């Protein structure tokens, strides 16, 4: 009787334990997300206050949090700051609006395939009155370069579980965002240690409009915001460049100087634009660029003008014996960007961003 009782008691205890363990196991599996989470927040830019364009200094910022962020509460993560292109915005890149790319979906796919580490990814909305900030500082658009390099980084480090050190921060971007990446990154190796440029625009100033009478007339014909909104891409890009690189606080309503006036080229404006072209300023920042842990850039062969400037950048860095990675692939300005992010950019940051506090990677 005692033996039967003991055996039965053991069975009941075992079933009780299994009943406890199995639901807990199932609960754990159910709660571990398989995809990341996107938060869209507001970040105030002190340096964006009072901009003459009248854009809000409270900027939308999309933040991708990796799958384990919600469950592994003690873990801290490297951060990729990703800058979008001209006429784009963070909501387009993060799936809030249907677009040619969905960055979180690309990252989730790459994670599922085991091709990348987990990162926090941050993208500020740089879409403004001129359709893009060029990530530059000016009284007309506000200090976007400072906002990205200082205010945004400080805010993200305070609000999220980041690894707050340069060796765990990367800066990347597409088109105008690629321009912003090299513009900011070459000045701030103490903030961003690794740079990846996807089809970077504006490496040399495009001054064709200053000698093309038809384009010059179109630009000078823009008198109102409505006129600008109806203009083609090239004219919009000219105004965005002027707002960023040749601001004029006395020249309402756009508060900028165009590279042409009454049909004549304006040499001072041309010089100001050239002073903001990375291929013209690179020599000044060689010491900073040598401090970077890793630098990579690419472009599609069908994106001819950008591929050409990438080749010049490749040649300049080679002349200075600065290690870097440059690739030209079969593609245009956008058709293979998702693939490049998945197969190149994310693995690049997986290799080069430190996942531990106080440690940096081996110099490439």
Closest CA to 122 of 174, 76, 170: 170
The pLDDT value recorded for residue 31 is 60
d(CA 349, CA 177): 17
C-alpha span between 119 and 77 (Å, rounded): 6
* 311 confidence band (pLDDT: 50, 70, 90): very high
Burial 132-162 (b: 16+ CB within 10 A, else e): bbbbbbbbbbbbbbbbbbbbbbebbeeebeb
pLDDT surpasses 90 at 360 = no
d(CA 60, CA 42): 5
- Per cent of the chain over pLDDT 90 is 84
**Rounded Cα gap, residues 47 and 271, in angstroms:** 25
Residue 349 and residue 118 in contact, taking contact as beta carbons nearer than 8 Å: no
Domain(s) of CATH 3.40.50.1820: residues in the chain:
37-203+281-352
pLDDT over 50 at 128, yes or no: yes
Give me the chain's average pLDDT, please: 91
Rounded Cα–Cα distance for residues 118 and 353 (Å): 11
- pLDDT band of 50, cuts 50, 70, 90: very high
CA–CA–CA angle 53, 186, 266 (5° rounding): 50
CATH domain 37-203+281-352 topology: Rossmann fold (3.40.50)
Q: What is the pTM of this model?
A: 0.89
**Residue 270 pLDDT greater than 60, yes or no:** yes
Rounded to a whole number of angstroms, the CA Rg of the chain reads 25
């Amino acid at each position: 009787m005692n033996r039967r009782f003991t055996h039965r008691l053991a069975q009941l205890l075992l079933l009780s334990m299994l009943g406890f363990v199995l639901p807990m196991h199932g609960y754990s599996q159910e709660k571990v997300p398989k995809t990341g989470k996107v938060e869209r927040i507001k970040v105030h830019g002190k340096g964006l206050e009072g901009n003459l364009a009248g854009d809000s200094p409270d900027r939308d910022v999309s933040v991708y949090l990796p799958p384990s962020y919600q469950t592994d509460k003690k873990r801290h993560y490297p951060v990729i700051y990703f800058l979008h292109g001209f006429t784009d915005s963070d909501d387009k890149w993060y799936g809030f609006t249907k677009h040619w790319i969905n960055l979180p979906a690309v990252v989730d796919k790459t994670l599922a395939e085991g091709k990348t580490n987990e990162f926090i990814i941050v993208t500020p909305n740089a879409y403004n009155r001129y359709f893009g900030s060029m990530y530059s500082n000016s009284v007309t658009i506000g200090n976007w370069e400072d906002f990205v390099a200082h205010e945004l980084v400080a805010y993200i480090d305070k609000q999220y579980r980041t690894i707050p050190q340069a060796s765990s921060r990367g800066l990347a971007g597409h088109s105008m965002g690629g321009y912003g990446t090299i513009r900011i990154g070459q000045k701030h190796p103490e903030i961003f240690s690794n740079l990846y440029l996807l089809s970077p625009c504006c490496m040399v100033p495009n001054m064709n409009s200053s000698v093309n009478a038809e384009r010059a007339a179109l630009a000078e014909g823009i008198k109102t915001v409505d006129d600008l909104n109806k203009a083609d891409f090239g004219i919009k890009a000219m105004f965005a460049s002027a707002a960023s690189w040749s601001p004029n606080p006395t020249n309402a309503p756009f508060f900028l100087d165009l590279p042409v006036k009454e049909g004549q080229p304006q040499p001072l404006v041309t010089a100001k634009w050239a002073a903001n072209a990375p291929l013209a300023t690179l020599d000044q920042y060689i010491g900073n660029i040598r401090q970077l842990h890793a630098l990579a850039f690419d472009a599609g062969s069908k994106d001819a003008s950008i591929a050409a400037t990438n080749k010049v950048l490749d040649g300049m860095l080679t002349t200075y014996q600065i290690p870097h990675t440059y690739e030209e692939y079969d593609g245009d300005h956008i058709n293979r960007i998702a693939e490049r992010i998945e197969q190149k950019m994310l693995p690049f940051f997986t290799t080069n961003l430190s996942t531990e506090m106080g440690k940096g990677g081996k110099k490439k």
